[in-house]
Chains A and B, each alone.
Chain A
Amino acid sequence: MTIYVRLEENRLDPREELGALIDQAAGDGAIVSFVGIVRPTSGDSDQLEKLVLEHHPTLTGQSLEEIAVAAAQRFDVSHVRVVHRCGEVQAGEPIVFAGAASPHRRAAFEAADYLMDRLKTEAVLWKREEGAAGTKWIEPTETDYRERGRWE
């Protein structure tokens, strides 16, 4: 079992992250990964230039770690990998990679789904959109909280 977590200030290449997970997962039967990309428009359909993710010096890393460990304990997975961007992320760039490897596919699907539902609502990051319409802070939506609630 391995749990890999990284808060990345500069560059997130999902191909490299998936490659690393595949290399680790020799002997497993399934790998599921999710890549989140910054959309070019905001929730109000305005043109979005970038997202800015602020983080806490200790709590952000702790929260990512705690979520990854919980996924590893809850599902029959062999490897969990979470990489989250912080700082400025331009539209079109990856913002998060969440992946899991397991002997059978269901656990890997569920672990990736669980990771994202918790990251959306509990990762200690503060996200704001910056674009033509100005600055807007982004908080989890009712849907995000409802989807997180599926795992209670």
Chain B
Amino acid sequence: MKVTFYGKLAAMLGTELELAVETPCTVASLRTRIAEAHPEAAKSLEDRRVRACVGSTLVADDHPLTASDEVEFLAPVSGG
């Protein structure tokens, strides 16, 4: 599964990761899977303000994912 990161998550994990993930799964289990593989980023990934996005739509942690989904994780945002 292709996973893309933005903000400080991209700085920690790289912009893109290709992960072997058992599907179907949920956004929450994908988050856990990435955190296990990259413990240095676990705390940042588990931040409740980190949002997931599939097909340019923000999705909740229980959103179901298939192998063909591309998931984006957005670090906490700040403008102004």
Contact = CB atoms under 8 A, between A and B. Distances in A.
A binds B: yes
B48 to A, nearest CB: 12
Interface string A39-63: 0000000000000011010110011
B74 to A, nearest CB: 7
Interface stretch (B6-14, B32-40, B59-67): B6-14
A139 interface: yes
A125 interface: yes
Interface residues of A, number: 27
B6 A96 contact: no
Contacts, number: 60
B75 interface: yes
Contact of B7 (A58, A62, A126, A144): A126
B53 interface: yes
A137 interface: yes
Interface in B4-32: 6-8, 10-11
Given A59-B56, A126-B6, A140 B74 contact: no
Main secondary structure of the interface of A (DSSP, over half): mixed
Greatest chain A CB density within 10 A among B7, B11, B72, B76 is at: B7
B19 to A, nearest CB: 20
A57 to B, nearest CB: 8
Interface in A56-94: 56, 58-59, 62-63, 84
Contacts of B79: 53, 84, 96, 119-120, 122-125, 127
24 contacts: A54-B6, A54-B7, A54-B10, A56-B6, A56-B72, A56-B74, A59-B53, A59-B56, A96-B80, A121-B77, A122-B77, A123-B78, A123-B80, A124-B74, A125-B77, A125-B78, A126-B7, A126-B78, A127-B79, A128-B8, A137-B11, A137-B75, A139-B78, A140-B78
Interface of B: 6-8, 10-11, 49, 53, 56, 58, 72, 74-80
